[in-house]
Amino acid sequence: MIDQIQHAWTWLHSDAASAVLIFTTIKILLITVPLILCVAFFTLWERKVIGWMQVRKGPTYIGKGILQPFADVFKLLFKELIIPSEANRVLFYLAPLLALVPAFAAWSVIPFDAQVVLSNSNAGLLFLLAMTSMGVYGIILAGWASNSKYAFLGAMRAAAQMVSYEIAMGFSIVGVLIAAGSLNLTRIVEAQAGNGGMFEWFWLPLLPLFVIYFISGVAETNRAPFDVSEGESEIVAGFHVEYAGSAFALFFLAEYANMILICFLASILFLGGWLSPFPESWGLVGTAGWWWLLLKANFFAFLYLWFRATFPRYRYDQIMRLGWKVFIPITIVWVLVTGIMVYCGWLLPGE
């Protein structure tokens, strides 16, 4: 035991270790910095798209609207961080970090192209489930630490909602797991490759799971029409009602990072990730590449905004009913169906 520690200690001080650490840090930055930029421009895109849907223009002033997200960021960073006098200070500071860290950590196993992934973990899917479930702690703690009734109600709603939709989401992922025969995300994408183009992807055999996965994803990230935990017309801003300035910005960043994560995951798990929707024999359009992944993720991101502009908000108990009485039974049944399909050889895991 002591030998091992000493061995690790000496390794940490070797040149090889420094090289690995520096290289990994660069890779992490290569993922997080574009991610933060994505979040920034996603907020802009959201405001623009919803604006167009609502016969108005959206932001037009700062840099013709394009620099609006940066103006927002600087405004938030320079604002005073107000802490309610009765709040639990430690938890109050800790909560936004607890929301943000898992939201970013989950990105470490996302493959962007055939070999482009920070950690090609064999338990990638499990890691993702773990990380997305951790996010709820940040929200619960934020609601609890604020010592406000609105925040508390928001936290309770968020906890119940995220925990129940976690199950439906988990079962959808089990379906993918059975169909792909692997927990490794790169393998899952490779399992969807084939000559049929988009008809080889998992969305077709797992259609109910695909739909439920994305809807649960919307619920999991507390977005409209499931945004009861921050429903502004009922509990004002829910769990982050007492947060201002940079602490609020962290929650915001975490929420949007999670949204984009769900978009990427839906594309990877069900729409063949970086694979082209056309058969390989079609030449250039049939070539797989990261741009396909971005395109698919963009499509889901647009759905998020479309939902938000169209639907009224569910009531809290209706969301729970939808989750427990509709989604979970359907996913359980379809997991069984998937198992039967694999057993009968209609669906070959790993191919």
Partner 1 sequence: MQEIRNYTINFGPQHPAAHGVLRLVLEMDGEVVQRADPHVGLLHRGTEKLVESKPYNQSIGYMDRLDYVSMMCNEHAYVRAVERLLGVEAPERAQVIRTMFDEITRILNHLMWIGSNGIDLGAMTVFLYAFREREELMDCYEAVSGARMHATYYRPGGVYRDLPDRMPQYRESPWRKAADARRMNQWREGSMLDFLDAFTEDFPRRVDEYETLLTDNRIWKQRTVGIGVVSPEQALAWGMSGPMLRGSGIEWDLRRKQPYAAYDKFDFKIPVGVQGDCYDRYLIRVEEMRQSNHIIRQCVAWLRQNPGEVMLKNFKVAPPSRTEMKDDMEALIHHFKLFTEGYSVPAGEVYSAVEAPKGEFGVYMISDGANKPFRVKLRAPGFAHLSAMDEIARGHMLPDVVALIGTFDIVFGEVDR
Binding residues vs partner 1 (CB under 8 A): 53-56, 149-150, 153, 157, 224-225, 227-228, 231-236, 309-318
Q: Measured from the CB atom, is 233 or 281 closer to partner 1?
A: 233
Q: Of 59 and 124, which CB lies nearer to partner 1 in the complex structure?
A: 59
Question: CA-CA distance, 298 to 178, in Å (whole number)?
Answer: 27
Judge contact between 222 and 161, C-beta under 8 A: yes
Residue 348: Cβ-neighbour burial (10 angstroms; 0-12, 13-18, 19+): exposed
> In the 8-state DSSP scheme, what is residue 121?
-
End-to-end CA distance of the chain: 42
Taking the least distance from each CB to partner 1, the nearer of 1 and 55 is: 55
For the CB of residue 225, give the shortest distance to partner 1 in the complex, in Å.
6
What sections of the chain are H helices per DSSP?
Answer: 2-12, 15-53, 68-78, 89-105, 124-146, 149-180, 185-191, 207-220, 232-235, 245-270, 290-310, 316-321, 328-343
Q: Give backbone dihedrals phi and psi of 272, rounded to 5 degrees, phi first.
A: 70, 20
Taking the complex as a whole, the smallest distance from the CB of residue 228 to partner 1 amounts, in Å, to 7
| Closer to partner 1 by Cβ: residue 76 or 309 | 309
Cβ at position 259, least distance to partner 1 in Å: 17
The total number of residues written for the chain in this structure: 351
194 residue type, one letter: G
Nearer to partner 1, 223 or 296 (CB): 223
CA distances from 41 to 46, 59, 94 (A): 8, 12, 27
Distance of closest approach, residue 50 Cβ to partner 1, in angstroms = 8
Q: How far is the CB of 314 from partner 1 (least distance, A)?
A: 6
Nearest approach in angstroms of CB 291 to partner 1 is 32
User: 75 or 321, CB closer to partner 1?
Assistant: 321
